[in-house]
A and B are shown apart, each in its own frame.
Chain A
């Protein structure tokens, strides 16, 4: 496990907003998302700075997945603004496909394309979207697979992989395009407990290597150890946020306290 080249300070209790002098990569301002007439997100403000790991926590239905999909321009938003490296990517005039190519996204399940080998899954976007020559894409993919511990699975089809291996391959695919931000949506929640560790270890390694990550998770222990910043979403608004030690250790909001109590009762902290 790399100790992490990026120095992080998780003990300070700083006000919300850009917390460091580091450059803000993803900036979500007043994001509103409604399906039909029900608002799922009701004015979300959130920033992710370069090399920062921000985790979203909150009960089921609080809007974590919706927030990640909106941030990754996979869904139109109802109001507000999303900036990526200062560019307003919620502007309908921007090239949405080009913007999406700057994100790496991993969902809870069904990430890999079942009709392609693991290697083809990983080389698809580099070849088709970024115009990397096939041979070079292949070499890079092999290096990536080696890094995620799947060097021997390059030519396997996804249904021959365990759930943990599938998610690691999905992460490899997401980082193959060298994204500015990784959006991870509960990537371990469909896994058997003994497979969760291997996937989280990989995320931890990426974080240590300086990746910029926004992730929704139910793994509070993981959030506590790896996150720089924890955002607690409740009914479509940011209810409480701050360094993990404070938000998870001594929450001030009653809703957060209640949520954490339930999590502890369920044995997940």
Chain B
């Protein structure tokens, strides 16, 4: 029997499968609707609902604050782009330094370990304050240092400490015989790392990296603590002038929208990674 001409048996199985999948889609749809209705009724019937609605979900306030918050969000996005790239580079360097062996590299290894211990341990908020207010106090320049830069630096230091550990775990997870195989072909340490170990490590840690990226997408909002006019700060200003919390809800929704594509990408990447692991032959 050829692949192009399935037997009647296979055809009937296929139509059964199609019917089943249609039915389960309908079931999912129905249960979602029911659930949403119940949730809606429960929330709207709460005694404080009218007041909450007025202070948190005021459509007019939302509409009026939106342009400023969007403008602020653009700053967040730019900071995010720079910080993400800088984090990847710094984290990779730190991870590579930590994998170096041999007494010559001890100082570098210690430095890298110290970096991770320090910046993974300091709460991001504290680091933001320390760098945002501490560095200007040193008066390296007479001009005022843009707080956006300082906030970005704090963000990068914290995230690089985390992400370098992710990279290191990835490097360690590459089977030792891969490294040995690369060396046995005469590749140098650097060549084995670059051409054999790192490509495999990076593939493996892509899902956790994307997860950290999602976390970073919302943590860029913390730079507002140093004063720059980002989405959170814009929401704060709008909220104070209207005596209404709706702008915060707007900002929150925008941050969620920003993170959804990355979250889906992370899902997809980790599903693909799982598939690969499972299909990879035992050998």
Contacts and interface: CB of A to CB of B under 8 A. Distances in A.
Interface of A: 69, 72, 74, 97-98, 100-105, 107, 109-115, 124-125, 128-130, 158-159, 161-163, 166-167, 173, 177, 190-191
Contact of B200 (A74, A98, A113): A113
Interface in B101-160: none
Contact of A72 (B184, B280, B281): B184
A110 B177 contact: yes
A101 B187 CA distance: 8
A111 B203 CA distance: 18
Contacts of A163: 281-283
Given A111-B177, A163-B282, A166-B281, A129 B186 contact: yes
Contacts of B178: 110, 113
B276 to A, nearest CB: 7
B177 A97 contact: no
Contact of A124 (B175, B177, B185, B283): B185
A177 B185 contact: yes
B59 interface: no
A110 B280 CA distance: 11
Given A97-B183, A101-B186, A124-B185, 5 more contacts: A98-B186, A115-B200, A130-B186, A161-B281, A177-B185
Contacts of A107: 177, 180-181
Contacts of A190: 282-283
Among B191, B276, B283, find the residue whose CB has the most chain A CB atoms closer than 10 A.
B283
A100 B183 contact: yes
Given A110-B175, A110-B178, A115-B200, A74 B183 contact: yes
Contacts of B181: 105, 107, 110-113
A107 B178 CA distance: 10
A117 B199 CA distance: 13
B45 interface: no
Contact of B184 (A74, A98, A128, A161): A74
25 contacts: A74-B183, A98-B186, A100-B183, A104-B184, A105-B181, A105-B185, A107-B177, A109-B177, A110-B175, A111-B177, A111-B181, A113-B178, A114-B200, A114-B280, A115-B199, A128-B191, A129-B185, A130-B186, A158-B281, A159-B276, A162-B281, A167-B283, A173-B185, A177-B185, A177-B186
A69 B175 CA distance: 16
User: Chain B interface residue count: which class?
Assistant: 20 to 34
B195 interface: yes
Nearest to A72: B184
B12 interface: no
Contact of B195 (A98, A105, A124, A166): A124
Nearest to B202: A115
Contacts of A110: 175, 177-178, 181, 283
Contacts of A162: 281
Interface string B164-190: 000000000001011011111111100
Contacts of A166: 281, 283
B123 to A, nearest CB: 37
B196 interface: yes
B279 interface: yes
Contacts of A98: 186
A189 to B, nearest CB: 11
B280 A159 contact: yes
Nearest to A158: B281
A97 B187 contact: yes
A140 to B, nearest CB: 15
Given A113-B178, A113-B196, A114-B200, A100 B280 contact: no
A173 B177 CA distance: 15
Contacts of B283: 109-110, 163, 166-167, 190-191
Interface string B187-213: 110010001100110010000000000
Contacts of B188: 97
A97 B181 CA distance: 12
A105 B184 contact: yes
A129 B196 CA distance: 14
A178 to B, nearest CB: 12
A81 to B, nearest CB: 20
A97 to B, nearest CB: 5
A159 B187 contact: no
A220 B200 CA distance: 37
Interface string B10-44: 00000000000000000000000000000000000
Given A107-B177, A128-B191, A159 B186 contact: no
Given A110-B283, A163-B281, A125 B185 contact: yes
Given A124-B195, A162-B281, A129 B180 contact: no
B219 to A, nearest CB: 31
